[in-house]
């Protein structure tokens, strides 16, 4: 009914947090690493860069799910935009769906992102440990 609203709200919040973080972040950490057998100076991806993965997933999913809701006639281009919002019984059902399905969507996307951050940290550490560049 309107489950995509929950991840969309999370997307807005995380985008704002990322923008603030980008402004506060200092120069990205410089790392010496061997890439394809050639020692190179690289910049480690800042946390805001990894946070962008989360906003990309949330925005991408929310946009396509919003289209699905338009397809099913649950979202309309006139006030109150959500067809379920005009009827109290439907509105209650919609809120229940947002609290269950919507929250689960946001949680799953965030968990997948956390896993991506974890795996990327392991890859970064392994790269630095296995092939330390000679300075």
Partner 1 sequence: MTLLVSVFAAVISTVLWYKNAPKSEMKLGILCWLFWGASLMWLVDAIFEYAELKAAYFAPDPADMLNDLFLGLSVVALALVIWLVILLVKDPKGVVKNALFRKKAG
As measured in angstroms, the least distance from the Cβ of 20 to partner 1 is 21
State which residue, 11 or 83, has the beta carbon closest to partner 1.
11
Q: Please, are residues 72 and 3 in contact by the beta-carbon 8 Å criterion?
A: no
Tokens representing residue 54 in the block: 């989360």
As measured in angstroms, the least distance from the Cβ of 19 to partner 1 is 18
As measured in angstroms, the least distance from the Cβ of 26 to partner 1 is 25
Phi, psi (rounded to 5 degrees) for 32: -90, 125
Please tell me the number of Cα atoms within 13 Å of 19 on its side-chain side.
6
State which residue, 92 or 108, has the beta carbon closest to partner 1.
108
**Virtual CA dihedral for 29, 34, 35, 36, nearest 10 degrees?**
180
State which residue, 86 or 100, has the beta carbon closest to partner 1.
100
Footprint on this chain of partner 1 (rule: CB under 8 A): 3-4, 7, 53, 56-65, 67-68, 71, 100-101, 104-105, 108-109, 112
């Amino acid at each position: 009914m309107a489950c995509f609203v929950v991840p969309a709200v999370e997307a807005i919040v995380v985008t704002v947090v990322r923008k603030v973080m980008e402004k506060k972040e200092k120069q990205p950490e410089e790392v010496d690493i061997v890439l394809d057998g050639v020692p190179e100076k690289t910049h480690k991806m800042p946390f805001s860069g990894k946070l962008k993965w989360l906003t990309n997933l949330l925005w991408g999913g929310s946009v396509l799910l919003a289209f699905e809701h338009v397809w099913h006639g649950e979202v309309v281009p006139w006030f109150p935009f959500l067809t379920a919002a005009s009827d109290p019984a439907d509105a209650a059902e919609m809120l229940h769906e947002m609290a269950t399905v919507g929250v689960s969507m946001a949680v799953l996307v965030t968990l997948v992102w956390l896993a991506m951050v974890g795996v990327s940290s392991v890859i970064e550490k392994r790269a630095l440990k296995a092939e330390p560049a000679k300075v």
